[in-house]
């Protein structure tokens, strides 16, 4: 019979079950509230329930404040959130707990390290949610990094010490340096794990040695004394030793022993004693010898101390300027960032690079350049506070670390540094002025460690150079985007040639006298399958700075001359092919031979190739430019100066260049019908070129008025949209057939 609603057993059981449930819930809540780790229940990416520790870890006042938010907000970004999901859920779906160390984000945006443990409530149905345990391990991470730094420093000291150093535990070798192995005649690593008995002459001497150092060790004091040891070949040596227990309260941690071979000194002392016993008359002489020996030993010890100090300095300081090097900077930066994190302060990091410093080394020599760097280092150090760090990375690059400095303070320091650097440097008979470009990054906004901050400051410094140099820039999202774009183009450009993404377009060059097309300028174009058409103004500087301009430039010359030869073979009347040279190409020692080799491979008359060089590149090293131009001219290749009038040319050098043609920059051509200054400049260039026996070509011709003015002034050739835009190879061939 089914029980009725009035069954007394039924009424009696319900309160007991409810009370047990309530008790279980209270016990569960007590566990959650008192747990030393954060615990959260997540369902469908929403925080449903958590304990107070979880709220504290993520910067919430209470557990209630943390609820109903998306668990995506706990991660630095969406990508890291998805990366964790991809790693965790295959494990949790098997009913297992997923454990990992993960970088997470507090409510205020601060990133921190956690040990994360997660498990699905029901592996068969992920919609039932998951339980996660979060343990804040940021302090442990920082301590681990500090430990690694200390161990690295200890390793440097151990490896470079001029005395023997050995660590013993239970009188067995756990570690020793090469000086100790060499002193006893062992090969590297041969002593690892062996008993110290091996370098004592007898068993009794080994036992007696333990009796001598046991009492000082137990009292927490160092043992100092002389001990006779035995080399691997059985030869006894006298050693001066200093030893101390690593932990006097726990002998199990072992001891460190520092040994110095004093056999030579002991031998001299013994010889002196023997001489006194046998030859009383030689006492004074032997005494003097002993004194000299002692002085030599003292000198050697002093030299040894100096050498050790020098080694220590080399490990942490720049040899030229005496400033901290990157190793010491990294250590100081770590301490500064840790202190800033605890005190909620900002830290500024500045990347300083001298503008065109290579010109100083190239023109006056590295010795003068080094003197400038030494004096600049002293100025920089004097311009900042005692707690600030000025370090040199190498060359003319410096990094300044400014603890407890916000953006306003960093700007004041940057202004001060700019003024300091501008003061003339008097090096021997030379008075020099250099200007710096400075990039500034701020902790914690721009990065959480030295690598991230220096990368941001470096990007900001390059923006300062792009904006005119002799200035400073703070790192911004725009600079980051520009840096990312530059890196993207740099990587894509490395594969552009191999993937046949580059092509040449050709713009006709017209004779002003006959109106016929007498030449073409080869213009490089890049079309990337994802990025689309990339402007030469954007990718050419990247190619030049990365060194890619050399293979690309060779490809341009070879492709342009091959195309011209193909047109001529197809019946086109010969025309000149103008190809632009970059500064890197022009400075390359093999340029003349490379051009000749390409022309011979293609079978093209050298007189049909015209290499264009910008005025600024030609005037950077005019004597070198003259030599290269003469070499190319002797090989039959024509030379032209591009963008003429935009730089600063010495007429004496211009005459010696013996170039075939001057190209008038389009910035002067654009307004010659309205601007009397432009008309005067263009007229002067044409007149000067004519008097020097040079041809002239005007670029950027777009109107009939511009053409008529140039024709009236005697300009030889012109190119521009008035005649034609740059054309593909096929379109240019069709154009030539149409104009004929």
Using one digit for the tens of pLDDT, what is the confidence trace for 31-80? Answer: 666 667 999 999 999 999 999 999 999 999 898 998 998 999 999 999 99
DSSP assignment of 362-417, as one string?
HHH-HHHHHHHHHHHHHHHHHHS-TTSEEEEEETTEEEEEEET--HHHHHHHHHHH
Angle at 443 between CA 437 and CA 444, to 5 degrees: 145
In the beta sheet, which residues pair with residue 165? 258
**What one-character DSSP code corresponds to residue 719?**
-
Cα(285)–Cα(280) distance, integer angstroms? 10
SS3 breakdown of the chain: % helix, strand, coil, rounded to 5?
50, 25, 25
Give the residue from 79, 84, 82 showing the smallest Cα distance to 114.
Answer: 84
Cα(132)–Cα(58) distance, integer angstroms? 14
Cα(667)–Cα(654) distance, integer angstroms? 21
Residue 697, classified by CB atoms within 10 Å of its CB into exposed (0-12), middle (13-18) or buried (19+), is buried
pLDDT in tens, 279-289: 766 778 888 88
User: For residue 333, is pLDDT > 60?
Assistant: yes
470: left (phi over 0), alpha (psi -120 to 50) or beta: left
Token pair listed for 674:
């309205």
Cα(339)–Cα(326) distance, integer angstroms? 20
pLDDT of residue 2: 35
pLDDT band at 11 (very low <50, low <70, confident <90, very high): very low
pLDDT of residue 588: 82
Cα(590)–Cα(583) distance, integer angstroms? 14
Cα(287)–Cα(417) distance, integer angstroms? 61
Q: Above pLDDT 70, what percent of the chain?
A: 89
Q: Above pLDDT 90, what percent of the chain?
A: 51
User: For residue 325, is pLDDT > 60?
Assistant: yes
- Residue 277's Cβ-side half-sphere holds a number of Cα atoms within 13 Å equal to 6
DSSP assignment of 480-503, as one string?
HHHHHHHHHHHHHHHHHTTTT-EE
pLDDT band at 708 (very low <50, low <70, confident <90, very high): very high
User: For residue 312, is pLDDT > 90?
Assistant: no
pLDDT of residue 52: 92
Give the residue from 701, 704, 706, 740 showing the smallest Cα distance to 721.
Answer: 701
353 three-class SS: strand
Token pair listed for 122:
């029901």
Token pair listed for 265:
């000194």
- 389-393, 453-457, 495-499: least confidently modelled range: 495-499
For the CA atoms of 190, 192, 196, 201, the dihedral, rounded to the nearest 10 degrees, stands at: 0
pLDDT band at 8 (very low <50, low <70, confident <90, very high): very low
User: For residue 511, is pLDDT > 70?
Assistant: yes
Cα(643)–Cα(620) distance, integer angstroms? 15
CA distances (Å), origin 617, targets 213, 252, 610, 612, 645: 75, 71, 17, 11, 13
Give the residue from 504, 555, 552 showing the smallest Cα distance to 527.
Answer: 504
In the beta sheet, which residues pair with residue 638? 610
Cα(161)–Cα(158) distance, integer angstroms? 6
Q: Are 255 and 244 in contact (CB under 8 A)?
A: yes
Residue 723 main-chain phi, psi, to 5 deg: -95, -50
Q: What is the residue whose two structure tokens read 């030299």? A: 303
pLDDT of residue 107: 92
Is the pTM higher than 0.85? The answer reads: no
H or E element that contains 169 = strand 164-169
pLDDT of residue 1: 33
pLDDT of residue 505: 96
Cα(389)–Cα(383) distance, integer angstroms? 11
In the beta sheet, which residues pair with residue 524? 504
CA 738 to chain centre: 55
Cα(706)–Cα(679) distance, integer angstroms? 10
In the beta sheet, which residues pair with residue 426? 431
Token pair listed for 261:
């071979």
Cα(681)–Cα(672) distance, integer angstroms? 9
H or E element that contains 291 = helix 283-316
Q: Are 200 and 229 in contact (CB under 8 A)?
A: yes
pLDDT of residue 93: 92
Question: 615-625: b or e for each residue (b if 16 or more CB lie within 10 Å)?
Answer: bebbbbbbeeb
CA 702 to chain centre: 46
Q: Are 157 and 175 in contact (CB under 8 A)?
A: no
pLDDT band at 704 (very low <50, low <70, confident <90, very high): very high
pLDDT band at 4 (very low <50, low <70, confident <90, very high): very low
H or E element that contains 578 = strand 576-580
Cα(549)–Cα(584) distance, integer angstroms? 7
**What one-character DSSP code corresponds to residue 447?**
-
pLDDT of residue 10: 45
Q: Are 709 and 681 in contact (CB under 8 A)?
A: no
380 upstream amide cis, omega within 30 of 0? no
pLDDT band at 653 (very low <50, low <70, confident <90, very high): low
pLDDT in tens, 96-138: 999 999 999 999 999 999 999 999 999 999 889 999 999 999 8
Token pair listed for 104:
């997470």
pLDDT of residue 650: 47
Task: Give the CA diameter of the chain.
Answer: 132
pLDDT of residue 31: 60
pLDDT of residue 715: 95
* Length of the chain counted residue by residue: 740
How confident is the prediction for the chain on average, in pLDDT? 86
**What one-character DSSP code corresponds to residue 190?**
T
Give the residue from 704, 705, 725, 707 showing the smallest Cα distance to 715.
Answer: 707
pLDDT in tens, 611-638: 988 766 666 667 777 888 888 889 999 9
Q: Are 635 and 606 in contact (CB under 8 A)?
A: yes
Token pair listed for 437:
């470009």
Token pair listed for 494:
């490395």
Determine how β-strand 638-644 pairs with β-strand 661-664. Answer: parallel
pLDDT of residue 478: 76
Cα(80)–Cα(735) distance, integer angstroms? 55
432: left (phi over 0), alpha (psi -120 to 50) or beta: beta
Cα(527)–Cα(503) distance, integer angstroms? 8
pLDDT band at 294 (very low <50, low <70, confident <90, very high): confident
pLDDT in tens, 177-231: 988 999 999 999 899 999 999 989 999 999 988 888 888 888 888 899 899 999 9
- Mean pLDDT throughout 655-681? 87
- 210-219, 285-294, 322-331: least confidently modelled range: 285-294
pLDDT of residue 645: 57
Give the residue from 95, 97, 103, 99 showing the smallest Cα distance to 74.
Answer: 103
For the CA atoms of 252, 258, 261, 262, the dihedral, rounded to the nearest 10 degrees, stands at: -110
Q: What is the residue whose two structure tokens read 């010696």? A: 656
Cα(169)–Cα(252) distance, integer angstroms? 7
């Amino acid at each position: 019979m089914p029980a009725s609603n009035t069954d007394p057993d039924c009424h009696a059981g319900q309160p007991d079950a409810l009370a047990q449930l309530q008790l279980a819930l209270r016990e569960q809540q007590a566990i959650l509230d008192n747990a030393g780790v954060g615990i959260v229940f997540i369902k469908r990416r929403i925080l449903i329930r958590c304990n107070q520790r979880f709220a504290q870890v993520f910067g919430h006042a209470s557990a209630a404040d943390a609820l109903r938010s998306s668990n995506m907000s706990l991660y630095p970004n969406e990508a890291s959130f998805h990366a964790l999901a991809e790693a965790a859920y295959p494990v949790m779906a098997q009913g297992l707990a997923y454990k990992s160390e993960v970088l997470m984000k507090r409510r205020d945006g601060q990133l921190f390290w956690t040990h994360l443990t997660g498990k699905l409530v029901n592996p068969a149905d992920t919609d039932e949610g998951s339980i996660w345990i979060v343990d804040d391990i940021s302090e442990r991470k920082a301590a681990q990094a500090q430990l690694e730094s200390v161990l690295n420093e200890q390793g440097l000291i151990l490896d470079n010490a001029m005395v023997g150093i050995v660590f013993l535990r239970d009188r067995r070798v756990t570690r020793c340096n090469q000086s100790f192995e060499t002193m006893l005649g062992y090969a590297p690593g041969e002593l690892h794990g062996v008993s110290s008995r091996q370098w004592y002459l007898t068993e009794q001497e080994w036992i007696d040695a333990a009796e001598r150092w046991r009492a000082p060790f137990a009292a927490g004091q160092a043992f100092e004394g002389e001990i006779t040891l035995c080399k691997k070949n059985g030869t006894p040596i006298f050693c001066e030793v200093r030893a101390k227990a690593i932990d006097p309260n726990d002998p199990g941690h072992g001891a460190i022993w520092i040994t110095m071979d004093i056999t030579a000194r002991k031998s001299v002392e013994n010889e002196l004693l023997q001489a006194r016993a046998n030859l009383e008359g030689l006492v004074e002489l032997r005494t003097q010898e002993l004194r000299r020996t002692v002085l030599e030993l003292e000198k050697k010890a002093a030299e040894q101390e100096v050498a050790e100090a020098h080694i220590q300095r080399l490990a942490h300081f720049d040899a030229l300027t005496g400033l901290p090097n990157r190793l010491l900077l990294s250590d100081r930066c770590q301490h500064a960032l840790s202190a800033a994190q605890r005190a909620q302060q900002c830290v500024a990091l500045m990347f300083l690079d001298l503008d065109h410093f290579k010109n100083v080394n190239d023109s006056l020599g590295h010795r003068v350049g080094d003197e400038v760097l030494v004096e600049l280092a002293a100025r920089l150090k004097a311009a900042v506070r005692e707690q600030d760090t000025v370090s040199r990375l190498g060359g003319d690059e410096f990094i300044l670390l400014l603890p407890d400095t916000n953006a306003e303070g960093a700007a004041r320091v940057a202004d001060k540094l700019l003024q300091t650097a501008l003061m003339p440097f008097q090096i021997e008979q030379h008075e020099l002025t250099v200007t710096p470009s400075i990039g500034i990054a701020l902790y914690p906004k721009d990065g959480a460690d030295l690598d991230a901050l220096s990368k941001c400051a470096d990007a900001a410094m390059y923006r300062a150079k792009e904006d005119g140099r002799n200035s400073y820039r703070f790192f911004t999202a725009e600079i980051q985007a520009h840096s990312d774009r530059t890196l993207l183009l740099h990587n894509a450009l490395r594969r552009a040639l191999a993937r046949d993404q580059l092509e040449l377009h050709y713009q006709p060059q017209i004779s002003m006298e006959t109106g016929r097309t007498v030449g073409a300028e080869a213009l490089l174009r890049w079309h990337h399958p994802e990025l689309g058409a990339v402007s030469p103004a954007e990718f050419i500087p990247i190619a030049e700075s990365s060194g890619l301009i050399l293979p690309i430039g060779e490809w341009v010359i070879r492709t342009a001359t091959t195309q011209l030869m193909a047109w001529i073979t197809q019946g086109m009347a010969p025309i000149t092919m103008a190809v632009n040279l970059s500064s890197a190409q022009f400075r390359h020692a093999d340029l003349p031979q490379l051009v000749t080799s390409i022309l011979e491979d293609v079978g093209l008359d050298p007189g049909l190739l015209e290499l264009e060089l910008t005025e600024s590149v030609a005037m950077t090293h005019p004597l070198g430019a003259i030599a290269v131009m003469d070499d190319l001219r002797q090989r039959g290749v024509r030379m032209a100066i591009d963008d003429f009038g935009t730089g600063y040319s010495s007429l004496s050098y211009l005459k010696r260049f013996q170039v075939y043609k001057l190209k008038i920059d389009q910035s002067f051509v654009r307004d010659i019908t309205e601007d009397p200054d432009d008309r005067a400049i263009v007229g002067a260039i044409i007149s000067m070129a004519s008097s020097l026996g040079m041809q002239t070509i005007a670029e950027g011709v777009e109107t009939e008025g511009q053409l008529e003015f140039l024709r009236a002034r005697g300009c030889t050739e012109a190119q521009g949209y008035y005649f034609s835009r740059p054309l593909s190879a096929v379109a240019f061939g069709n154009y030539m057939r149409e104009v004929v």
